[in-house]
Amino acid sequence: MQRPIPLNALTLYADLDQSLAGGTGAPGTISRRQENGQRRLYATIREGLRRRQVYLGSVGDREAEAAAQRYRVDMEQARQRRSTVSALKRLGIPAPPLEAGRVLEALSRAGLFEAGGVLVGTTAYQCYPCIVGHMLPSASLVTRDVDLSIARIAVPRLSALGRPLEEILQEADPSFRADMRGEQAPKSYRNRAGFSVDLLTTPGRRDEPVLVKGLGTFAVPLPFMDFLIAEPISAVALYGRGVRVTLPSPARFALHKLLIARRRTLQRQKAPKDVAQAWALIEALGAFDADALADGLDAARRRGGDLKAIAGDVEATLASAGSSTS
């Protein structure tokens, strides 16, 4: 059984989640300058590796001073969130590595999660411990990619953001470039160090990549992605001041992992890792939130086919484990 996370850590995480759920301003440092005989107020805002300045107005102007005070309040709240993130990491809660954290922050700031993007893959798994109340094996592994899934129904909302994904990712690392490979629009992005960001989507009548026009990219459809990202949840990635992301429900994530492990024909060496991560989530969720696990199993049974069979196997294993300990 996985080690439970202490109550004080879960409380800190819940406070951080609540703070981010209310929305965050743009924290900025305030400076005064003498220009053309006037003293002027500016806010310097950091966005990833970039900084930009916002002119607020003249020193002493009521609206300018009020705007400056809002930036100061946002900065103090950001400092408190950063302190909470640091405290959680000191308690051993897993956090994404630096490159992944920067990418998640850029995606979140651009509104991709709010518009319907769902984080999947290893980076999502790293965000689950406080969601399921237990430490998870391999949650601190360094990953070299971020996988973002987009339901087809969410494509118009993401397109409406109107910013190329390459431009968004360059806020995390200016060396990010689209991996064209002869395509009209990319499906993957890579930085100079080889870190990649891949776009996925739910299956449709055809297997062709789906254009997300406003982001200037394609998303690759994968089988069962619709099961994985249905009913997603919000979570916090422990990077910087905390990054609000959207994840698959942990039960669906675990069942999808078991499905992928069963169906693997290539890269079969990854199957044991998939199974281990899936069962770690199932056991933790069963102890921490049995109703959420039951909901996921019900959804798999309703889907039928391989997912129904996997749900049956999971229930049989859990029942056997329960009877052996009683």
Q: What are 207-216's pLDDT values in tens digits?
A: 888 888 889 8
Q: What whole-number percentage of the chain has pLDDT above 90?
A: 60
Judge contact between 179 and 189, C-beta under 8 A: yes
**Rounded Cα distance, 241 and 295, in Å:** 32
Residues of the chain with pLDDT under 50: 325-326
Q: CB burial class (10 A; 0-12, 13-18, 19+) of residue 77?
A: middle
The span from the CA of 253 to the CA of 265, in Å, is 20
Instruction: Give, as one character, the DSSP assignment of residue 31.
Output: E
Whole-angstrom distance, CA of residue 154 vs CA of residue 25: 25
Which DSSP helix (H) or strand (E) runs through 200?
Answer: strand 196-201
- The CB density around residue 127, as the number of other CB atoms within 10 Å, is 24
Q: What is the pTM of this model?
A: 0.88
Q: What's the CA gap between 4 and 135, in Å, rounded?
A: 6
Q: What pLDDT, on a 0 to 100 scale, did the predictor assign at position 246?
A: 97
CB 131 within 8 A of CB 250: yes
**What's CA 54's distance to the chain center, in Å?**
29
pLDDT of 325 reads 46
For residue 243, list its beta bridge partners: 237
Distance between CA atoms of residues 81 and 89, nearest Å: 12
pLDDT at residue 326 in the model: 44
CA 289 to chain centre: 21
* pLDDT at residue 204, rounded to an integer: 83
3 state DSSP class of 15 = helix
Are 36 and 47 within 8 A, CB to CB? no
The residue type at 252: R
The residues facing 119 across adjacent strands are 148
271 vs 276: CA distance, rounded Å: 9
